[in-house]
Amino acid sequence: MRIALCDDDQYQLNRLKTLIKDYINEKNYSCTFYLFSSGETLLSDFHKGSYDIIFLDVYLQGIDGMETARQIRSIDENVFLVFATSSMYHAIESYHVSALYYLLKPIKEDNLRMALSRCETYMNHELQTITVTSKKQEHVIIKREILYAEIYDKLCKIHLDNGEIISTYITLDHLMEELGGLPFIRCHQSYIINYQSVNCIKDGKYFKIKTEELIPIPRNRKKELINSYNQYLINSIRNI
């Protein structure tokens, strides 16, 4: 496991490393740490797949942690981001860079363990797949790569984050069973969306996917779906 820590306070940096190391040693994991004192130095050494987890302070000299996270996300959509900072002010904003956890300083060991446990759980599940048949060939699809699925002209079209569209004869009910619930939701009789792929709700009428597509929200389910999405956001960033 490769873990990067970024904080301009050397004491906080070393303390965080010590706490994480205690957890890692208990689990008997092999781990390499990479320590950075600024967003600039982290980004200068960063490429897709550099690290498994990145811990970031928001309040950094120079490029702040949130901007650092945005630049990280433009390069690597899959690395786990955990903020460790002194204010809740940016908690909601952290969702927009798909942060997995938001820790408040001074960091409590129990909370850090929860964050690491969540990372561990996601690592175990991030490569979960489904298998569908398209044009007489089987396709193995990693669940987290699915943006949304739609029924079009009796075909189920599964849209992936690399731009690929896989067409298959499968019902959305069956697909939803395969996906297994959140972050996937049947938001419309013709659509399943992945909440992780949603940028925002537009005009109270559409889910806006990160690739700019608009998925309609039925009027008779507007309140239910907006509440469901907002609760998903809250649960995604809550410091339990």
Distance in angstroms (rounded) separating the CA atoms of residues 97 and 129: 24
Q: What is the CATH number of the domain that holds 75?
A: 3.40.50.2300
The verdict on 226 and 140 lying in the same domain is yes
The verdict on 101 and 165 lying in the same domain is no
The verdict on 146 and 54 lying in the same domain is no
Find the domain containing 69 and state its range.
2-125
What pTM, to 2 d.p., does this model score?
0.59
Place of tokens 């706490």: 19
Query: Considering 103, 125, 147, which residue would you say is the last residue of a domain?
Result: 125
Distance in angstroms (rounded) separating the CA atoms of residues 199 and 5: 27
Question: Is the previous residue joined to 106 through a cis bond, with omega within 30 degrees of 0?
Answer: yes
The verdict on 31 and 109 lying in the same domain is yes
What pLDDT score does 138 carry?
A: 86
Poorest-confidence range of 46-55, 137-146, 195-204? 137-146
Mean pLDDT within 105-122: 91
The verdict on 73 and 117 lying in the same domain is yes
Q: What is the CATH number of the domain that holds 158?
A: 2.40.50.1020
The verdict on 70 and 153 lying in the same domain is no
Q: Label residue 140 exposed, middle or buried (CB < 10 Å: 0-12, 13-18, 19+).
A: exposed
The total number of structural domains in the chain stands at: 2
Instruction: Give the pLDDT confidence of 161-215 residue by residue, as tens digits.
Output: 878 899 999 999 999 999 988 899 999 999 999 998 998 999 999 999 988 999 9
What pLDDT score does 107 carry?
A: 92
The verdict on 10 and 110 lying in the same domain is yes
Question: Is the previous residue joined to 183 through a cis bond, with omega within 30 degrees of 0?
Answer: yes
Query: Considering 105, 125, 145, which residue would you say is the last residue of a domain?
Result: 125
Distance in angstroms (rounded) separating the CA atoms of residues 118 and 175: 26
